[in-house]
Amino acid sequence: MHVCVLGAGIVGLATAYSLRRAGHEVTVVDRASPGSGASGGNGAQLSYSYVQPLADPAIWRQLPKLLLSPSSPFKLRPRLDMHQWLWGLQFLAACNSKTSRDTTGQLLSLAALSRQSFDAMMAEEKLDCDFSATGKLVLYSGEDAFAAARRQMLLQRELGSTQEAVDADRCVEIEPALKSRHAQIAGAIYTPGECAADCQKTCDALLAVLRRMGVRFLLGTPVEQMVQRGKSIAAVSTPQGHIEAERFVMALGAESALMARGLGLHLPVYPLKGYSITVDVAPEEHAAPSVNVTDSARKVVFARIGSRLRVAGMAELSGYDTAIDPAQIASLQTSTQTVFPACSHFGELNPWAGMRPATPTGLPVIGRHAKGPDNLLFNTGHGALGFTLAFGSAQRIARMIGH
């Protein structure tokens, strides 16, 4: 059948790929170029085994510092927007042990499917996207935080993850670029199988692959509204005219919630603004990390993509404002120079900001809305795990649509 995919970020492109492989005719519509939203400058880590949701019971004791500290990685910028406040209240309600455990299990299952699907795609298409599989270290600077991380590791191990808790000596053995930080490391969780890739390069390469496969693209083409006929969507209205299809998949990231409101639907998705910088690595051996590293205290991730280092972090609950805050970029540079002082000359920072589409629990919205049109499926709300989960959620959408 003919399926129209709204959105050309990594989730939309992965969906188009899975649907085309299943034999469907596919049209992709986006107001911008592939990857130009929340995908292109993301953290670059493919964290298939480390999927702890943001909504965690530990948030409650961290909340005063998160809200009040000038150096906090979380910024709340209150707006006259009931959707922002509703999302915040639902997020706090999800910060309990049962919800966190259930969400972790579901995310690990989706991540396993995503890894299988991404690996199969890479074996078939051999994309040039600076892919690496060097593992991941999540660093902890305090004993209490490290103890909590070991408990989460045991939960994830029960659910099938392969991880180990390591001390500072072992951290430096795994990643020599951490040598200068040895005294500040209480311990780390090491996941040897984790990967990284440049998401923008992945999007660009997928665009070329999909075009060869016969997928039609309407880029630079905003979706103005969805034309409803009875209980179904008949078409989407664009400046290029109406686009008719038998099924529609909404993968518009944080904007999916805005589009859903036009249909009278509430989608529990709100943007969590994140930032990144991308710097050229210094030529000296062990100056920059080759293993993925997450600094849990700073909530900053480091990923090697070719001869560059991607550094990403921050979470701003500030509406749909896409402006880049220079203070956040400076904070990322400071974090990088603190953890890996010799990693780069920092000539160009290549600052970026993206609106991560987040749900209160951390689980993406995949499939039909209970009150929505019968031929409209959603594939959104992946938060900071969009790249990690994209090919798994795409597989689920393809199975729902069938042959």
- Compute the mean pLDDT over every residue in the chain, rounded to the nearest whole number: 94
Q: How far is the C-alpha of 148 from the C-alpha of 162, rounded, in Å?
A: 17
Q: Is 213 helix (H, G, I), strand (E, B) or coil?
A: coil
Q: Which residue has the tokens 């993301």?
A: 42
pTM of the model: 0.95
For 50-59, write each residue's pLDDT tens digit.
887 888 888 8
For 173-206, write each residue's pLDDT tens digit.
999 999 999 999 999 999 998 999 999 999 999 9
pLDDT at 245 over 90: yes
Compute the average pLDDT of residues 296-313: 96
Q: How far is the C-alpha of 223 from the C-alpha of 218, rounded, in Å?
A: 10
Q: What is the pLDDT of residue 403?
A: 58
Compute the average pLDDT of residues 233-255: 97
For 330-361, write each residue's pLDDT tens digit.
999 999 999 999 999 999 999 999 999 999 99
- Considering only residues 72 and 170, tell me which one the structure prediction assigns the higher pLDDT: 170
CA atoms within 13 A on the CB side of 81: 16
Residues 6+ apart with CB under 8 A from 293: 136, 137, 138, 139, 175, 178, 301, 302, 339
pLDDT at 17 over 80: yes
Instruction: Name the residue among 34, 45, 42, 31 with its Cα closest to residue 12.
Output: 34
| Most confident residue range from 80-84, 105-109, 216-220 | 216-220
Contact 114, 67 (CB under 8 A): no
* Tokens found for residue 4: 């129209």
> In angstroms, what is the C-alpha Rg of the chain?
21
